[in-house]
């Protein structure tokens, strides 16, 4: 009997423990839910879309420090600039004067106008339209002569304009016009010209028909006063230097081309000399906004080490560029940036072409800004301490029902067990 009673006691104790464990699990589950709701949560900071837009486009400039004339350097520089335009994130300045200044050259609006007229003259001549070619080349000569007087590199273009005039005059058998054009072509001859200044486009037989006129020692000369407003301009007559205005010179009777240029502007005009007199021309002012860039380029060429960074910073700040591509030698471009929030110019590498140079610059700019749209001082994850605590009255009612029901069932089971064992054993023995 003893083992049976011991077993029954142990069974009751096990039942109570099971019920207590179930109640504890139910309570723990509701407590963990409440604690999870009260605990701080980690979240990523919001992206500032306006800041992202701010860093999508970067102002860029191309700086040409290579040696040689601008006519030789210009084609490769323009090709490099056009290739950079394929990177939509890079915005190149459309100011032609600034582009020329960053190449160490002077931009001349009148030179560009002359080149445009010359291009139309070339099309007209190619279409056998000598009237159109003669008209357009005449306009181009006036523009190019003024640019040439101001120091722009217009000699090659002037030769082309006079070449069209010569060829059309020869074709139409206008000997006087062909002879006048041949005289200027000899004066503008360069190293590529043949004997006696003959352009390579003209045959020797044709050129010999228009020899250099003999200079007559007793020829008539007329005194002419050349003045400019304002004064101080260089004077060129028929592409020969004739001093600085105002000046008195002697000219032969007939038509001449007078051109003047200087810091105050340029002008050109055809005049007909028949008697002594005064020629006064007003200079047309030209833009010189970026004239100081030349000094900055000279400083950058000579600078070394930290001085180069300072010179580059000053130059990029002057032209308001965030990226600079420096052409110093063939096939090698240095890439510079102004890092976000820093007052210094940073050299970020070299590149062989525009495509790679653009990628190097954009990658460096993105790294310097530490992911566009995110605040560099803000951690990637932050804690949200907003709590949503629940009071005991908000806990689900069925949780307490389970706990109380389990306790009641356990108590009833134990009472039933005690009642079933609370009986007497009576034995009756009959003799």
- Structure-token pair, residue 344: 């210094």
Q: What is the pTM of this model?
A: 0.57
Strands 346-351 and 222-229: unpaired
Question: If we measure between CA atoms, which residue out of 31, 34, 39, 44 comes closest to residue 387?
Answer: 39
Segment 246-260 mean pLDDT: 94
Write the DSSP assignment of 226-264 as a string of letters. EEEESS--EEEETTEEEEESSEEEEE-SEEEEEEEEETT
Q: What is the pLDDT of residue 304?
A: 87
pLDDT at residue 105 tops 60:
yes
| DSSP-derived secondary structure letter, 374 | S
State the chain's mean pLDDT as an integer.
78
- 286 backbone φψ class: left, alpha, beta (φ>0; ψ -120 to 50): beta
Choose the most confident range, by mean pLDDT, from 90-104, 119-133, 187-201: 119-133
Strand 222-229: give its sheet, edge to edge: 247-251, 222-229, 277-282
Q: What is the pLDDT of residues 415-429, one digit of tens each?
A: 555 555 544 444 545
CB of 12 closer than 8 Å to CB of 418: no
The H-or-E segment that residue 101 falls in is helix 96-101
Which one has a higher pLDDT value, 19 or 339?
Answer: 339
Q: What is the pLDDT of residue 53?
A: 45
pLDDT at residue 219 tops 60:
yes
Largest CA distance in the chain: 190
Q: What is the pLDDT of residue 392?
A: 44
- Structure-token pair, residue 39: 């605990």
pLDDT at residue 374 tops 70:
no
Sheet strands (E) in 24-88:
41-43, 58-64
Instruction: Tell me what percent of the residues of the chain surpass a pLDDT of 90.
Output: 47
Q: What is the pLDDT of residues 309-349, one digit of tens each?
A: 999 999 999 898 999 999 988 888 999 999 877 788 999 99
Counting beta carbons within 10 angstroms of the beta carbon of residue 72, is it exposed (0 to 12), middle (13 to 18) or buried (19 or more)?
A: exposed
CB of 148 closer than 8 Å to CB of 259: yes
Instruction: Give the pLDDT band (50/70/90) at residue 96.
Output: confident
Q: What is the pLDDT of residue 351?
A: 93
The H-or-E segment that residue 222 falls in is strand 222-229
Instruction: Give the pLDDT band (50/70/90) at residue 295.
Output: confident
Question: If we measure between CA atoms, which residue out of 266, 269, 246, 234 comes closest to residue 146?
Answer: 266
Please give the Cα distance from 240 to 226 (Å, whole number).
14
Q: What is the pLDDT of residue 41?
A: 41
What are the start-end ranges of the H helices in 272-344? 293-302, 306-319
Buried b (16+ CB within 10 A) or exposed e, 342-368: eeebeebebbeebeebbebbbebbeeb
Which one has a higher pLDDT value, 288 or 341?
Answer: 341
The H-or-E segment that residue 335 falls in is strand 332-337
* CA distances, 280 to each of 148, 226, 240, 411 (Å): 19, 6, 18, 127
Residues 6+ apart with CB under 8 A from 150: 108, 234, 261, 262, 265, 266, 286
Segment 232-249 mean pLDDT: 95
* CA distances, 401 to each of 15, 17, 21, 406, 409 (Å): 19, 18, 15, 8, 12
Write the DSSP assignment of 389-415 as a string of letters. ---GGGS-HHHHHHHHHHHHHHHHHHH
Instruction: Give the pLDDT band (50/70/90) at residue 227.
Output: very high
pLDDT at residue 79 tops 90:
yes
pLDDT at residue 174 tops 90:
yes
């Amino acid at each position: 009997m003893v083992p049976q009673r011991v077993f029954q006691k142990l069974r009751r104790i096990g039942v109570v423990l099971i019920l207590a464990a179930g109640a504890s699990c139910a309570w723990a589950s509701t407590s963990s839910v409440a604690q999870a709701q009260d605990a701080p949560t980690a979240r990523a900071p919001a992206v500032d879309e306006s800041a992202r837009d701010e860093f999508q486009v970067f102002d860029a400039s191309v700086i040409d420090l290579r040696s040689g004339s601008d006519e030789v350097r210009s084609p490769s520089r323009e090709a490099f600039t056009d290739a950079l335009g394929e990177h939509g994130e890079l915005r190149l300045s459309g100011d032609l004067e600034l582009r020329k200044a960053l190449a160490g050259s002077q931009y001349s609006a009148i030179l560009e106008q002359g080149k445009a007229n010359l291009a139309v003259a070339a099309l007209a001549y190619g279409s056998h339209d000598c009237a159109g070619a003669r008209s357009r080349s005449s306009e181009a000569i006036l523009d190019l002569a003024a640019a040439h007087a101001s120091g722009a590199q217009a000699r090659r273009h002037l030769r082309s304009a006079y070449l069209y005039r010569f060829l059309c005059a020869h074709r139409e058998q206008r000997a006087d016009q062909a002879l006048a054009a041949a005289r200027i072509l000899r004066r503008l001859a360069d190293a590529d010209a043949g004997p006696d200044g003959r352009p390579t486009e003209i045959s020797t037989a044709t050129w010999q028909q228009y020899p250099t006129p003999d200079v007559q020692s007793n020829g008539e000369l007329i005194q002419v006063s050349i003045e400019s407003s304002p004064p101080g301009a260089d004077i060129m007559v028929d592409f020969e230097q004739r001093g600085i205005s105002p000046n008195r010179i002697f000219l032969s009777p007939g038509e001449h081309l007078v051109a003047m240029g200087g810091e105050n502007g340029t002008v050109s005009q055809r005049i007909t000399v028949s008697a002594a007199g005064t020629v006064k021309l007003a200079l047309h002012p030209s833009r010189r906004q970026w004239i100081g860039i030349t000094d900055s380029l000279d400083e950058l060429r000579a600078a070394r080490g930290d001085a180069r960074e300072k010179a580059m910073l000053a130059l990029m700040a002057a032209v308001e560029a965030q990226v600079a591509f420096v052409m110093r030698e063939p096939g090698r471009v240095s890439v510079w940036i102004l890092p976000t929030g820093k007052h210094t110019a940073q050299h970020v590498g070299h590149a062989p072409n525009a495509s790679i140079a653009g990628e190097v610059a954009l990658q460096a700019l993105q790294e310097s800004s530490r992911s566009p749209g995110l605040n560099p001082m803000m951690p990637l994850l932050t804690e949200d301490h907003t709590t949503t605590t629940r009071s005991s009255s908000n806990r689900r009612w069925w949780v307490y029902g389970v706990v109380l029901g389990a306790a009641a069932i356990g108590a009833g089971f134990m009472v039933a067990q005690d009642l079933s064992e609370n009986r007497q054993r009576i034995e009756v023995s009959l003799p």
